[in-house]
Structure 1
Amino acid sequence: MKPEGRLLVAGGHASETGVRADNQDFAGIYTATELERMRHGMIAAVADGVGGGIGGDHRGGRIAAELAVRALIEGLYDQPDTIGVPAAAHRVMAPYNRWLTAMGRTDSMAHAATTFTALVLKGRRGHVLHAGDSRAWHFRDGRLTLLTQDHTRSHPDQRHILYRAIGIEDRLRLDHHEVALAEHDRLLLTSDGVHGSLSHRRLEKLLGARNSADADAGAIVAAALGAGSQDNATAIVLDVVSLPAIGHDSVAGDIDRLPILDPPGEGDSVDGFRLDHLLSDGRYTRLFRATDTANGQVVAIKFPKPALLSETGARLAFTREILVGSRVSSPFVGDVIAVAQDRQTRLYGVQPFYEGQTLEARLASPMNLAEGLDIAIRLTRAVAALHKLDIIHRDIKPENVMLTHDGGLKLIDLGVARLPRVDEFGASEIPGTPSYLAPEMFAGNLGDEATDLYALGVTLWRLFTGHYPYGEIEAFSRPRFRKLEAPSSLRPELPAWLDAALMRAVSVDPEERFGDAIGLLRALEGGAAVERVDLRAVPLIERHPVRFWQGVSLILLVALIAALIH
């Protein structure tokens, strides 16, 4: 199981006066208590004060900047957590904006105002709140993305003139932008004394150094001053160390906003993914091998078919795959790849592309006992990893098992998995191949550990014999679960212990099956250990007693005939 995790962020900041007489920038980071982080998140903010004439020394700008940052930090946690980050921040900052606007009309703080750019990190999301020309940035996989837009005049000679900031207008206007977070992300806040002197590429390189947040914030400010900055220079760097586990509500919320469109075709491009090759065109979904043109990664992308799968069913299926991929940590279970919320424009799922073949394709060629046992053990470990988290696969079969070219195994296609506290499909939309459905599922059972073990047993039966235990069952036909013949009747070299394990796994009565996947795993691993013993060191009478006594009888018969002849 992947660790549940919590929001953990390492922050660092630097602020230098530079060539100016005083520093009107102000930066603040508040990591918050664990309870505060859960309810409201943690805060980082940069403000760059302008104007203000206390005694003619223009300290009003600095006061405006500092109070703006402190107002958010001190006020946000008093707001109800049910109204959301943007609304909570507006409740705090709007009164401050009105106060500062009024003070700007006095002699003591004439024209005082401040830019304001804040990050509120809550759960697995980052919320950017912004007014003015300070900036927020997002750094991931070596690429830096600007998250804000400067509120300055567009004319080249007037780009230093703000048309929006705190204290300029009676009514507060804060831009809000939301970004999905991932572990190892870096977030950057800068005043214009930094990004006014350093190019996008230079900032990208400095963040790519991956020193501590404090060290890299200092390096960015030093680089800005070294490049000739004529303003105060301030930077905050936040490193995302860990995040809370993905929850059903957050995933479902993200998926609900995505339209369900007709599936694309081979050669099309969707959100920067080039669809290179159609891998399968199933009843409910279409699967492509694709290339992410942003980084060159080869992936697999699955699209729903809205004509055959209801909108609710499609959203449930994709929600399940994301949840399982985020919760299960096993080398034998397929993973998922998160797509940035601002990139994905329609419903689809992205997974790593596993180079290899399905177990179904592998069954077309003969397989020795040792290879079969190795596959069986790894597949059973995959099922055990799911069941440990109360996840029921419900569609275990050779087509959903990938054997990779590097010798690995991945159990895939988790879109119909049954998860705790997650809504169920309509009965007609629970896919499943009839030959792998346990008898009780034909009577209305929606899937549990016992039915998964049955499907696994049928898969292993095919793995070792090439046949179905009760024969192949056609869709819409009434299955008949006749008396079982031992698998060794189809493949005589199968050992007795494997006969027993396979027959128990596909028992018609669920009470007679293994109690859990671990029980089956122990049987397979114990038997495999026996098979690895060097049988040449064991006497023939112990290895094959029947053959031994047949040989003895033959020798005695020859001896008797010879005696009678003489």
Structure 2
Amino acid sequence: MRFELDTGLSSLQGKRPRNEDFAGVQAPQPHEAERGWVAALADGVSGGGEGLMAAQTSVMSLLRDFHAVPTDWDSSVALDRLLGHQNAWLAAHNRRPGPDGEPREALTTLTAVALRGRRYAIAHVGDSRAWLLRDGECLLLTQDHRMERRDFAGLTRALGLDDALRLDHSQGELRVGDRLLLTSDGVHGALRSRQIADLLRATPGAQAAADALTAAALAAGSLDNATALVLDVKDLADPGLNDLAALGRTLPSPGPLGVGAMLDGYQITALVADNGVHRLLQAREPATGRLVALKMLRPGRADDPEERAMLAHEIWLGLHLAEAPRSRRGAAGSSSGFVRVHAPADGATHFYAVFDWHGGQTLEQLLAKGPLDAAQALALGQAVARSLSLLHAAGVVHRDLKPANLHLGDDGQWRVLDLGVALSRRSSAAARELHAGTPSYINPEQWQDPPAAPDAGSDLFALGVTLYRALTGRLPYGEIEPWQLARYRREPQSVSRLQPSVPMPLDRVVMRAVARDARARFETAEELLLALERCAARDQAEPVRASRNGGDPVLSWQIAFGLSLLLNLLLVAWLLFLPR
């Protein structure tokens, strides 16, 4: 899903000689969708144009730079850092005397809101305000930094006022139908909170609501600039990693569940697997009859914060891959060779992952019946190489590619399973330090001292080992343990020597994929996929050439023999009856 927002902005000068309010909204570019939206409203508080300059530069710099911060920054951190830099610039500006020698006073209030995933984050300084209308109830989300006394009335905090900026921060959950409002004191100084709430409830459309608020403020006698910025949440994006991590920290993990037990509307139908860390259950959604797979931490690991963070990361990766450009997807569309993951439902009571259920078997189960033939191995290799191409384009390394994590569905499609130890740019430091994977499928460089970091080449080596085993029933270097570096001192036996039915072109592709020297292997999933496609095209070309030559080789020999016999008979007749 894509985040959908309706925005409305109205700013009226009122009775002031100039409008020193400034507000704006910045939507993300398509490739920045995960970073979310940002909006801000500033109210310049000093005359001579300095207030307008402070308000304008503060809002514009925030909107310009918000989508350039690292993706792993929390929204509140991004707002704090960017506004802190702006405050430092304004404070330095104010320390320099103006053209007439008088001190400068470039000051402004500012209230900003970042909408990311399914949460909002607010940063606030001064006496502009943020409001939230939800289910008919209007809530004030900020507190004014203003001192009201008989002998003094003024701001206690503002951008540019002090070298050190103290922002108020708050966060909350977003829902479809929420209406967020930012106002300058020209609006809420003239209208009571009840009047603002009534106008927000009664006026459909974000722009109409903003216009109604500023018009009502001036009609009520406001002496200041009046600015209102309205944000209507029409649809929410899939939760971001921060949202999922928050669920992982706050929701309990399910306890032991038997067949027939209920969990958030799912009825457990079978226990599929238990690897000591996770349990995989099959469940049915009674409302639709749809089967799903539920993945959750075992009770003994449920309190491990790193395991919870890795499960949240796995859910996020599944949702992230579903948003991959369609040009990179396979014929199956959005599945892309992976099992589709579902966003946690609103009101979920426990922390777990929900996947589509596919009947079929893993490659591990298929190989228990014997090796694959060349055509089956080619289909497997091409499908997995396409999935790896998509994965690597998203900056993700699987790290545990092996037969147990490759599934052939009843629909005939190969899918890559288990992104639990996959690495992305958003992986935690603990996940990066984990030496994950199955030793026999890990490339030799990761066993060196110091070890090389896993990368896209690690997945390609693991795919090569998987194809070698699928064709021969053996591992190229045997069962590997971390201390058995001697196993990598010689090249493995060729596939065709162990299985003569394997064509030499396919043999060369697999042997290159599992070569000891990383420089001899394929560099990208696209390069490996092209080599496998050429093998498949070469195999398909043979029957075409045979059909052009007559199809049946016995018949061809019979025709050739008949022609030869006829030619010889003609030669004998010519010799016998030739005139002397």
**Shared fold, TM over 0.5:** yes
Q: State the Cα distance separating 1:8 from its structure 2 match.
A: 4.1
List runs of 5+ in structure 1 lacking aligned partners: 13-29, 44-73, 89-118, 129-133, 138-145, 151-169, 171-175, 197-211, 215-235, 556-566
Alignment correspondent of 1:412: 417
Is residue 2:514 matched to residue 1:506? yes
Is residue 2:490 matched to residue 1:486? no
Q: How does 1:15-164 map to 2 (within 5 A)?
A: 32-34=25-27, 41=38, 122-124=115-117, 125=119
Is residue 2:281 matched to residue 1:288? yes
Residues 379 and 287 (structure 1 numbering): CA distance in 2 closer, same or farther, change over 3 Å? same
Q: State the Cα distance separating 1:320 from its structure 2 match.
A: 2.6
List runs of 5+ in structure 2 lacking aligned partners: 9-22, 41-55, 67-73, 81-111, 123-130, 140-147, 149-169, 181-195, 208-229, 330-335, 562-580
Alignment correspondent of 2:457: 450
Q: What's the secondary structure of 1:532's corresponding residue?
A: helix
Residues 354 and 237 (structure 1 numbering): CA distance in 2 closer, same or farther, change over 3 Å? farther
One-letter amino acid of the structure 1 residue matched with residue 314 of structure 2:
E
Q: State the Cα distance separating 1:485 from its structure 2 match.
A: 1.5
The CA distance in 2 between the partners of 1:509 and 1:435, in whole Å, is: 16
With normalisation by structure 1, the TM-score equals 0.57
Pick which of 511-520 and 357-366 moved more.
357-366
Residues 418 and 310 (structure 1 numbering): CA distance in 2 closer, same or farther, change over 3 Å? farther
Is residue 2:364 matched to residue 1:371? no
**Residues 476 and 492 in structure 2, CA contact (< 8 A), matched pair in contact too:** yes
The CA distance in 2 between the partners of 1:302 and 1:244, in whole Å, is: 19
The CA distance in 2 between the partners of 1:305 and 1:337, in whole Å, is: 20
Q: What's the secondary structure of 2:493's corresponding residue?
A: coil
**Residues 299 and 352 in structure 1, CA contact (< 8 A), matched pair in contact too:** yes
The CA distance in 2 between the partners of 1:500 and 1:352, in whole Å, is: 37
**Residues 238 and 319 in structure 2, CA contact (< 8 A), matched pair in contact too:** no
The CA distance in 2 between the partners of 1:433 and 1:454, in whole Å, is: 12
With normalisation by structure 2, the TM-score equals 0.55
Alignment correspondent of 2:475: 469
One-letter amino acid of the structure 1 residue matched with residue 307 of structure 2:
A
Aligned with 2:545 (options 537, 546, 549): 537
Q: What's the secondary structure of 2:512's corresponding residue?
A: helix
Alignment correspondent of 1:258: 250
The CA distance in 1 between the partners of 2:254 and 2:509, in whole Å, is: 45
Q: State the Cα distance separating 1:251 from its structure 2 match.
A: 4.3
**Residues 252 and 319 in structure 1, CA contact (< 8 A), matched pair in contact too:** yes
**Residues 253 and 351 in structure 2, CA contact (< 8 A), matched pair in contact too:** yes
Alignment correspondent of 1:156: none
Alignment correspondent of 1:274: 267
Alignment correspondent of 2:307: 314
Q: How does 1:420-439 map to 2 (within 5 A)?
A: 420=425, 422-425=427-430, 429-439=434-444
**Residues 213 and 239 in structure 1, CA contact (< 8 A), matched pair in contact too:** no
The CA distance in 2 between the partners of 1:264 and 1:500, in whole Å, is: 49
Q: What's the secondary structure of 1:425's corresponding residue?
A: helix
The CA distance in 2 between the partners of 1:253 and 1:79, in whole Å, is: 29
The CA distance in 1 between the partners of 2:265 and 2:459, in whole Å, is: 37
**Residues 313 and 429 in structure 1, CA contact (< 8 A), matched pair in contact too:** no
One-letter amino acid of the structure 2 residue matched with residue 350 of structure 1:
V
Residues 523 and 84 (structure 1 numbering): CA distance in 2 closer, same or farther, change over 3 Å? closer
The CA distance in 2 between the partners of 1:288 and 1:438, in whole Å, is: 32
Residues 408 and 187 (structure 1 numbering): CA distance in 2 closer, same or farther, change over 3 Å? farther
Q: What's the secondary structure of 1:414's corresponding residue?
A: coil
One-letter amino acid of the structure 2 residue matched with residue 284 of structure 1:
V
Q: How does 1:336-415 map to 2 (within 5 A)?
A: 336-340=341-345, 343-365=347-369, 367-415=372-420
Residues 460 and 136 (structure 1 numbering): CA distance in 2 closer, same or farther, change over 3 Å? farther
Is residue 2:240 matched to residue 1:246? yes
Residues 537 and 33 (structure 1 numbering): CA distance in 2 closer, same or farther, change over 3 Å? closer
The CA distance in 2 between the partners of 1:370 and 1:83, in whole Å, is: 50
Q: Deviations over 1:87-135 (max 9, x none)?
A: 99xxxxxxxxxxxxxxxxxxxxxxxxxxxxxx9771223689xxxxx99
Residues 8 and 519 (structure 1 numbering): CA distance in 2 closer, same or farther, change over 3 Å? same
Q: Deviations over 1:176-224 (max 9, x none)?
A: 994456xxx56589x9999x9xxxxxxxxxxxxxxx999xxxxxxxxxx
Q: What's the secondary structure of 1:493's corresponding residue?
A: coil
Q: State the Cα distance separating 1:478 from its structure 2 match.
A: 2.5
The CA distance in 2 between the partners of 1:423 and 1:213, in whole Å, is: 39
Q: State the Cα distance separating 1:312 from its structure 2 match.
A: 4.0
Aligned with 2:296 (options 278, 281, 303): 303
The CA distance in 1 between the partners of 2:235 and 2:351, in whole Å, is: 29
One-letter amino acid of the structure 2 residue matched with residue 508 of structure 1:
R
The CA distance in 2 between the partners of 1:121 and 1:291, in whole Å, is: 37
Residues 495 and 504 (structure 1 numbering): CA distance in 2 closer, same or farther, change over 3 Å? same
The CA distance in 2 between the partners of 1:336 and 1:523, in whole Å, is: 31
Alignment correspondent of 2:5: 9
Alignment correspondent of 1:515: 523
RMSD of aligned residue pairs (Cα, Å):
5.9
Q: What's the secondary structure of 2:270's corresponding residue?
A: strand
